[in-house]
């Protein structure tokens, strides 16, 4: 009986301690991410804290000769805009000094996305002071122009070291906050919901801008644009009635449009990507 009681106590204590595998699983699914297991390598576990190296893939774009980190891959065929994440976490994106050509090339006009420049950008994003092994670049892959834009684009695959704090609830261990470089701890438990709110606000603003352009168009032409394709709509409105080209929503899906002479409907399919569901964002005349 004493031996059985002792064994039960050991199991109970072990169950309350965070293991490396539990830390890895929690990190894989933090803040709406869905990372593969081989993208997370836990290096240290100490109580409810851990240090891990993550393999992250960033999409970068070059606009007017300046490279900027634009998105991070959060899962299979899933990307999240870094400006939304930064705004939700109340942190600065950084990376503005990484375009200085003298740092990376003898020729001042050289603006290629080199490994050094890529490392500088990722380190600035995370608040890491170089040189540091907390940021390592595995690969830089240019791939022409980004979807819906005339800007050059590329992918950066990087290994980054982050610190994590965990909390336990009825679902098990969850990432409560993370820390990188010289930045403070960032609470990530409400990050996904805040990002979703920012996306909805951005989509609403986009649709209202298009609606205003449609009103101007009708005021001059006598009717709205008659089409069921948003791409045709934007071709009619830009640049005279719409100062910028708006084609995809914050979930990286094309906006929807159905227009007749006297009425129209503008729509974002929202988080689920399905038409006519409760999370759609709709603007009508």
Q: In this structure, are 206 and 221 located in the same domain? A: yes
pLDDT of residue 243: 92
The reply to whether 12 falls in a domain is no
pLDDT of residue 97: 77
pLDDT of residue 93: 75
Q: In this structure, are 161 and 206 located in the same domain? A: no
The reply to whether 7 falls in a domain is no
The reply to whether 8 falls in a domain is no
The reply to whether 2 falls in a domain is no
Q: In this structure, are 148 and 47 located in the same domain? A: yes
Q: In this structure, are 250 and 117 located in the same domain? A: no
The reported pTM is 0.82
The reply to whether 4 falls in a domain is no
pLDDT of residue 15: 53
CB 169 within 8 Å of CB 154: no
Q: What CATH code is carried by the domain that includes residue 209?
A: 3.30.700.10
The reply to whether 3 falls in a domain is no
| Mean pLDDT, each 10-residue run in order, the chain (285 residues) | 50 67 96 94 96 96 87 92 92 72 52 90 93 95 63 92 96 95 93 94 96 95 94 93 93 93 95 90 92
Domain of 172, in residue numbers: 17-189
The reply to whether 110 falls in a domain is yes
Q: In this structure, are 130 and 264 located in the same domain? A: no
């Amino acid at each position: 009986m004493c031996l059985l009681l002792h064994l039960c106590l050991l199991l109970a204590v072990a169950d309350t301690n965070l293991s490396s595998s539990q830390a890895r699983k929690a990190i894989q699914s933090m803040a709406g991410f869905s990372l593969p297991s081989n993208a997370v390598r836990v290096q240290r576990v100490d109580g409810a804290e851990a240090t891990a190296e993550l393999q992250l893939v960033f999409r970068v774009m070059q606009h007017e000769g300046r490279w900027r980190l634009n998105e991070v891959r959060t899962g299979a065929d899933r990307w999240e805009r870094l400006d939304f994440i930064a705004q939700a976490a109340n942190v600065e994106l950084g990376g503005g000094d990484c375009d200085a050509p003298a740092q990376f090339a003898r020729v001042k006009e050289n603006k290629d996305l080199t490994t050094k420049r890529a490392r500088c950008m990722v380190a600035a994003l995370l608040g890491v002071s170089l040189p540091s092994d907390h940021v390592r670049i595995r690969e830089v892959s240019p791939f022409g122009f980004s979807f819906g834009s005339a800007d050059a684009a590329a992918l950066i695959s990087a290994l980054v070291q982050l610190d994590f704090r965990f909390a336990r609830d009825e679902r098990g261990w969850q990432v409560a906050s993370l820390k990188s470089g010289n930045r403070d701890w960032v609470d990530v438990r409400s990050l996904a919901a805040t990002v979703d709110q920012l996306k909805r606000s951005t989509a609403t603003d986009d649709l209202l801008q298009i609606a205003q352009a449609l009103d101007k168009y009708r005021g001059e032409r006598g009717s709205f644009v008659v089409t069921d394709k948003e791409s045709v709509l934007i071709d009619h409105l830009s640049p005279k009635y719409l100062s910028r080209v708006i084609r995809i929503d914050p979930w990286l899906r094309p906006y929807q449009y159905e227009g007749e002479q006297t009425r129209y409907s503008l729509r974002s399919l929202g988080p689920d990507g399905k038409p006519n569901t409760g999370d759609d964002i709709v603007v009508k005349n």
